[in-house]
Amino acid sequence: MPYINLRVAGELNREQKQQIVAEFTQTMVRVANKPAEYVIVTIDEAPLAGWGWGGQLLDEAD
């Protein structure tokens, strides 16, 4: 049973999440020959203030 966990900085809207889940699932079906009904996808959204890059929090970056 494939389990895919995606972490993103910031938020995604419902349509984006639907598309990501559908496309990740289809990739597992096509590439790994896994049945779609067994593919689990989770999306973790983290606030920009919870991510640092180049010494700055992402909510402070230009």
User: What pLDDT is attached to residue 37?
Assistant: 98
- What does R_g of the chain's alpha carbons equal in angstroms? 15
User: Is the per-residue pLDDT at 38 higher than 80?
Assistant: yes
Checking if the pLDDT of 62 tops 70, the result is no
- CA–CA dist 23, 41 (Å, integer): 10
pLDDT for the residue 45: 97
pLDDT exceeds 90 at position 3: yes
Map tokens 């966990």 to a residue: 5
Q: What is the mean pLDDT of residues 14-40?
A: 98
Q: Write the DSSP assignment of 11-50 as a string of letters.
A: ---HHHHHHHHHHHHHHHHHHH---GGG-EEEEEEE-GGG
Give the 3-state secondary structure of residue 52: strand
pLDDT at site 40: 98
What residue ranges define each of the domains in the chain, with the CATH number in brackets?
A: 3-47 (3.30.429.10)
What's the average model confidence in pLDDT over 25-50? Answer: 97
